[in-house]
Amino acid sequence: MSIQIFSPLGQPEVVQRHAPRSLAAIVGAKIGYVFNQHTSALSFWKSLEAAIGEQHRPSAAHRLYKTNTWAPAPKADIDKLISETDYAVVGVGA
Amino acid sequence: MDLTSEVFEVDDFEKAVELCYEQRWTDGLPVIPPTRGAIERVIEYLGRRPADMIGVIPPANRVATIENIAVNSVMAGCKPEYVPFVIAAIEAMLEERFNLNGVQTTTHNCAPLVTISGPGVKTVGFNTREGSFGHGCRASASIGRAVRLILWNVGGGYPGEPCKTTLGHPGYYSFCVAEDQDSNPWEPTHVESGFAAEDTVVTVTAAEAPHSIATGAGYRPAADVLYVIADAIAVLGSANVSGGEMVLVLGPMAAKNLADAGLGRADVKRELMRLATRPVREVKHRHSIATTHPMHWSNIVDPNDDEARVPFIRGPENLVLLVSGGWGSGVGFSALCPGWGALGGYTVRRRVEFPRRSA
């Protein structure tokens, strides 16, 4: 006699995602920096921002530095960043 | 009953156990193969629909339903009447302040500790005496185990990818403890959060493995007991140097010592907040979270004052305090489970909703 057993995994969450859009050029565009402020990446991030500023000369820069290194930033803060920028650089140190 | 989980067919029990390993449905310990009859008994007890959604479990972001919670609970060895505790724990962990995605993936060695308090502790038969954190009790072991299997199977918290815990700890298999109200000289732990004493409440906190504390409660005055506990809390390797939360389980001997000295639960917390500190000259040897983080200790004490004291308990709500365990010896053993610091895993409490039964 056979035994039937049931998978414990569950189904993936179905999420509607916006189609990605491309920028014609990032030089002179408005940039957002999203950073989790992990200690291991502080020096790197400072250098990265300087390099981007030098090479791509953004017309504006907005920073969303998370106060909780691991938790997602508040949605309102992300929405604000999206409304103010053309693209964002997201950095997660760990 | 309409179950939608994928079904596998095997020839016998041994092959069913092996299939669970092959499918990576378990983290190393054997599990009970989840058969239709066992799953249906759980769902019938709950009186809910199999498709009822509880939430999305990170980091795999699969959907936890009554059905797959029942499947995992069967695998863990739960009786149907244990599963409301499992559901409450999962719902609590899905609240934002718990930051389950971070808890599941951090390099820190924390796991969700499930604490049970209230009358349901006796009704269901948790062990609250000798070995209350560990072996010997089906309710504690299998409820903690079911929570872990859900985090594993539905949440995909596999070691290495994506779970980065550096070492983990044995509580990653099962991590559950219940409060012993018979030896607790104070109100139940959940009452301080606004729940009624007659509620049965699940509390979750991301925590390290229990660190034993020999409080000396059978021999020494309350001031010494508090001093020793505070010393165990304020260690430089603790993530609580950046605040955050922790669970302190007082053995009955230690709790009685403190209560006999006229200290209430709030008094104990206040004294531990006062005593569990380290001077700046020592704390500055500890590399902590970024100084720009609002919880960094330099935001609350002067980093240039070597004698200023850095508190490890920032507020009374950051210390979960309960009474559990055997009376033991005069050593008055207790246990501390440090938390994940300022990064999440913060305590969330949830009342256990038992199915309503008609008379």
> What does the pLDDT look like over B77-114, one tens digit per residue?
999 999 999 999 999 999 999 999 999 999 999 999 99
Nearest CB to A3: which of B12, B71, B107?
Answer: B12
**End-to-end Cα, chain B, rounded Å:** 24
Cα angle B280-A45-A23, degrees, rounded to a multiple of 5: 150
**Rounded Cα distance, B203 and B351, in Å:** 9
The answer to whether B6 contacts A6, with C-beta atoms less than 8 Å apart, is yes
Q: Is B130 helix (H, G, I), strand (E, B) or coil?
A: coil
Nearest CB to B71: which of A8, A12, A70?
Answer: A8
**End-to-end Cα, chain A, rounded Å:** 51
- Closest residue of B to A13, CA-based? B62
For the four alpha carbons of B189, B193, B197 and B203, in that order, the dihedral sign comes to negative
Task: Band the pLDDT of B250: cuts 50, 70, 90.
Answer: very high
DSSP B181: T
Nearest CB to B344: which of A7, A39, A70?
Answer: A70
Q: Is A1 helix (H, G, I), strand (E, B) or coil?
A: coil
pLDDT at A13: 87
Task: Band the pLDDT of B358: cuts 50, 70, 90.
Answer: low
pLDDT at B359: 46
Instruction: Give the pLDDT means over successive 10-residue stretches in chain A (94 positions).
Output: 93 81 86 88 92 94 84 88 93 79
The answer to whether B6 contacts A68, with C-beta atoms less than 8 Å apart, is no
Q: Which of B249, B219, B220 is nearest to B232 (CA)?
A: B249
ipTM attached to this prediction: 0.91
Structure-token match 């909703």, residue found:
B353
Boundaries of every domain in chain A: 30-91
Q: What is the CA radius of gyration of chain A?
A: 19
On the question of pLDDT at B13 being above 80, the answer is: yes
To which H or E segment does residue A44 belong? helix A42-56
- Closest residue of B to A5, CA-based? B35
Q: Which amino acid is at B48?
A: R
Cβ-Cβ contacts under 8 Å, A11 against chain B: 62-63
pLDDT at B88: 98
pLDDT at A22: 81
- Closest residue of A to B50, CA-based? A10
Q: Is B7 exposed, middle or buried (0-12, 13-18, 19+ CB in 10 A)?
A: exposed
The arithmetic mean of pLDDT across residues B334-340, rounded, is: 97
**Rounded Cα distance, B216 and B313, in Å:** 22
**Which residues does residue A61 pair with via DSSP β-bridges, in sequence order?**
A31
Nearest CB to B72: which of A3, A8, A72?
Answer: A8
Are B202 and B92 in contact by the 8 Å Cβ rule? The answer is: yes
Nearest CB to A13: which of B39, B56, B149?
Answer: B56
Q: What is the pLDDT of residues B106-151, one digit of tens each?
A: 999 999 999 999 999 999 999 999 999 988 999 999 999 999 999 9
- Closest residue of B to A68, CA-based? B343
Percent of all residues in chain B with a pLDDT value above 90, rounded to a whole number: 92
On the question of pLDDT at B235 being above 90, the answer is: yes
CA distance A20 to chain B (A): 21
Cβ-Cβ contacts under 8 Å, A15 against chain B: 61
Q: How many inter-chain contacts (A to B, CB under 8 Å) are there?
A: 117
The answer to whether A8 contacts B9, with C-beta atoms less than 8 Å apart, is no
**Which residues does residue B335 pair with via DSSP β-bridges, in sequence order?**
B212, B249
Q: Which of B338, B191, B216 is nearest to B276 (CA)?
A: B338
Cis peptide before B159 (omega within 30 of 0): no
pTM of structure: 0.91
Which pair of structure tokens corresponds to residue A5?
């057993």
Q: Which of B303, B305, B314, B169 is nearest to B240 (CA)?
A: B314
How many C-beta atoms lie closer than 10 Å to residue B176's C-beta? 29
Query: Taking all residues of chain B, what is their mean pLDDT, rounded to a whole number?
Result: 96
For the four alpha carbons of B27, B28, B29 and B31, in that order, the dihedral sign comes to positive
**Rounded Cα distance, B297 and B283, in Å:** 9
To which H or E segment does residue B120 belong? helix B120-124
**Which residues does residue B204 pair with via DSSP β-bridges, in sequence order?**
B114, B348
